[in-house]
Amino acid sequence: MTDTRVAQAPPTDLRGLVDWLIPDWELTPPTPEAVTLLPSFASKMRECERVCGQPYSEISHEIQDALVLRRLQQMFHTVRLNPLWRERLENAGIIRPPDSYEAWQRVPLSDKETQRDLFMGSREGMVVPHDRGGFEVVASGGTSSGSPLETVYSLRELSDTYAVAGHFLGTYQIGAHLAGTDPKWLLTTLADYQMWSSGTMVGGVLQSVPGVNYIGAGPVTAPVLEHVFSYRGPKALMGISAGIAILAELGAGMSQKAKDSFRVALYGSGVLPQRNRDELKALYPNLAILSYFAATQAETIGLQLAESSPVLTAVPGLHLIEIVDENGRWVPEGQEGELVVTRLHAHEAPLLRLKLGDRMIRRPRLDGPGPGPRAQQFEFAGRTGDILHLNDSQYSAVRAYDAVRDELRTAGVVDLDQVAHEIQFVNRREERVIGLYAAVDDVLTPAYRVDSLLGPAGLQRVLVNALPRSLSLFNDGEANPTSVAKTGYRLEVRFVPRHSPEIERTSVGKVPLVRDQT
């Protein structure tokens, strides 16, 4: 496709600018072959930067929103080249491209089954058939479902998104922590084996951070960690929560100079318990602990920019992030909904409005009069499956833990944040027992305190007081202590040794917050 804009000055009005950046002849490619010739969305972001004289991440929300909507319209025309997508949209009554974000919210949501149907097996959901080549297949081990899940990316667009995300991460998340003139190091302990490809996807971002030396270490032993931390210069390291937590144990014997060089720990699987944070901070005095929220389907979803706030910031221009209710509509700011992601850099294999299985609280957008990113913000609220089912009522396990922790702390029994390495609820439905398992160093002392200070009656008071506080905003008032008591459920708090097999783990070492037993 020939770009005839070279000799033209860009329009100064907003609508004219985005139509100039993605002109009509690119908006509606006539064939799958034409899709392969479309300029990348990353090139549109760079051109927008040039015209506006600012980094794309710092361009006004008004311009970003308009350009992303134009890109979504282009994606609509692209997916309609595939008969399965065309039928899917038409069955939902969607026959025209969205002319607003309100209209976009009527596009049907995709889930993991949609992804499996469209991008596994014969991969019939691709706009450009995979037999043409130039794709990368990545796979999740199915942390929640246990079933592998594949998706497909264009290699040319992967390199673009790695660069976009890596630059943002380096500039706004870790750059200030890796100061000075010494060499700077960025490691990941994510494994990349058995087609579980978070190591590939996140590693692609990390090695694209400007000015750092990248090490794809994989799981490390204490001698390997000590060897790498002996390198001159500040270090940042990314891993799953369990991989970050164990660094307190692995680094115990290293020199103080090596410990001092560890500046940023990025954890990538939801929540890092307070006990682990305290241990890490005690061992590594210069350490900042920040969240890097990602998924195989979206290599960078949200980055925690400051320890003082748990809010996650999306990388502008990488994905459209939506926090939606059960009808796929955006929830108001301050309310909780399900995380939905649309990858904007996906000409050949687009996937619209994918639910990733996470709950988020929608937060106000990051903005300001001076330099700095202008971006969507949200806060992790747990996995969609982190739900405790008591008869017909559903309780947030994240909120339930907070409430039970507060009840036990107020009663002077134990501070779970301080003693627990890992937490897991087990709903034993036939017995009507909610078991809260806590992996600790000292099993006997907290167990004795629970028995002596509370006993069965005291634990029952904890349960009936805590659960009503764990209902979502939409279900508030559905339960009270009396109604919880009538369910017949009782609470059991069980302390187990660290690494105990009584706490169930996935094949990649993650600890689901909730497990159901019938």
For the chain, the straight-line distance linking the first and the last C-alpha, in angstroms and rounded, comes to: 59
Residue 345, C-beta contacts closer than 8 angstroms, at least 6 positions apart: 40, 41, 42, 157, 160, 161, 164, 318
Q: Which of 134, 288, 291 is nearest to 202 (CA)?
A: 291
Rounded to an integer, what distance in angstroms lies between the CA atom of residue 454 and that of residue 462? 9
Encoded amino acid at 197, one letter: S
Residue 419, C-beta contacts closer than 8 angstroms, at least 6 positions apart: 275, 438, 440, 441, 442, 446
Q: How far out from the chain centre does Cα 172 lie?
A: 17
Element (H, E) at 76: helix 61-79
Please give the structure tokens belonging to residue 184. 């700077």
The predicted pLDDT at position 375 comes to 97
The predicted pLDDT at position 99 comes to 96
The predicted pLDDT at position 361 comes to 92
Residue 22, C-beta contacts closer than 8 angstroms, at least 6 positions apart: 44, 67, 70, 71, 74
Residue 394 pairs with which residues in a beta bridge? 389
Rounded to an integer, what distance in angstroms lies between the CA atom of residue 155 and that of residue 25? 24
User: How many C-alpha atoms does 191 have within 13 Å on its Cβ side?
Assistant: 14
CA atoms 353, 356, 357, 358: torsion sign = negative
Burial 10-48, CB ≥16 within 10 A → b, else e:
eeeeeeebbebbbeeebbebeebebbbebebbbebbebb
User: How many C-alpha atoms does 428 have within 13 Å on its Cβ side?
Assistant: 11
The 8-class DSSP code of residue 63 comes to H
DSSP 153-213: EEHHHHHHHHHHHHHHIIIIIIGGGS-SSS--EEEE----BTTBTHHHHHHHHHTTSTT-E
Q: Would you say 316 and 373 are in contact if contact means Cβ atoms under 8 Å apart?
A: yes
Q: What is the dihedral of CA 109, 114, 120, 122, to 10 degrees?
A: -100
C-beta atoms surrounding 299 within 10 Å: 27
pLDDT tens across the length of the chain (518 residues): 555 555 567 888 899 999 999 999 999 999 999 999 999 999 999 999 999 999 999 999 999 999 999 999 999 999 999 999 999 999 999 999 999 999 999 999 998 888 888 988 899 999 999 999 999 888 765 544 445 678 889 999 999 999 999 999 999 999 999 999 999 999 998 876 544 556 678 888 999 999 999 998 888 899 999 999 999 999 999 988 878 989 999 999 999 999 999 999 999 866 788 888 999 999 999 999 999 998 766 789 999 999 999 999 999 999 999 999 999 999 999 998 999 999 999 999 999 999 988 889 999 999 977 789 999 999 988 777 777 877 666 788 888 888 889 989 998 989 998 899 988 988 887 788 888 999 999 999 999 998 998 888 888 888 888 888 776 544 444 567 777 787 788 888 999 998 888 988 766 567 888 887 76
DSSP 346-398: -SSS---SEEEEEEEEEEEEE--SSSS--EEEEEEEEETT-EEEETTEEEEHH
Q: Which of 355, 274, 373, 439 is nearest to 111 (CA)?
A: 355
**Quick check: helix, strand or coil at residue 305?**
coil
Please give the structure tokens belonging to residue 230. 């002996």
Rounded to an integer, what distance in angstroms lies between the CA atom of residue 62 and that of residue 193? 42
